[in-house]
Amino acid sequence: MSTDVVAQAVIRPIRDSDAEALGRVHATCWHETYDHLISAAAFEHLSPRRMAELWNHLAERGEEYLQYAAVVDGEIVGFAGSGPARDEDAPRPRELYFIYVLDAHHGTGIGKQLFDAVIGEGEGVYLWVAEDNPRAHRFYARNGFVADGASQDVPFLGEEIHEVRLVR
């Protein structure tokens, strides 16, 4: 994609009315990101409708949660969210919960724009990322994250994904 797409991307807070579109994008991003880590059978339980239901609940979060969508030509192409740390041994007070951008928009700068919207330049933050997600690891390294040695196995669509913690 050309950098012209970035100039056309609008980064804005997620709205209640975004749930259906976010459900579609979220389901697609999970396929694009985790197909090599999760069986096809597990993905059979994933549907845009079920993901939209999840977004109905996420949209109700309080002010300490930042959730933004990237919109290109009127369509949501990515989203990100952060909030208070959820881990008892949290290395930072803020956690990046998620950031996903459709494959077609990787390399356009939209991921960085979303990241900046929910985190910003100087704030200390941490996140969990699938250990076998090299593209994400490169993105986070460019943004100042390093592994702190913590890891965990988390349930994902009835299976497990091994995650590592990165800190900035």
Strand order in the sheet with 10-13: 10-13, 66-72, 75-84, 94-101, 126-130, 159-167, 146-156
Range of the domain at 160: 4-167
State the Cα–Cα distance between residues 82 and 118, nearest whole angstrom. 6
Domain total for the chain? 1
* Amino acid residing at 97: Y
State the Cα–Cα distance between residues 37 and 65, nearest whole angstrom. 29
Mean model confidence pLDDT for the chain: 90
Query: Each residue of 24-79: pLDDT tens digit?
Result: 999 999 999 999 999 988 888 888 888 888 887 766 666 788 999 999 999 999 99
- Over residues 88-115, mean pLDDT: 95
pTM over 0.95: no
- DSSP-assigned beta bridge partners for residue 80: 68, 99
Task: Provide CB contacts within 8 A for 44, sequence distance 6+.
Answer: none
CATH number at residue 56: 3.40.630.30
Residue 127 above 60 pLDDT?
A: yes
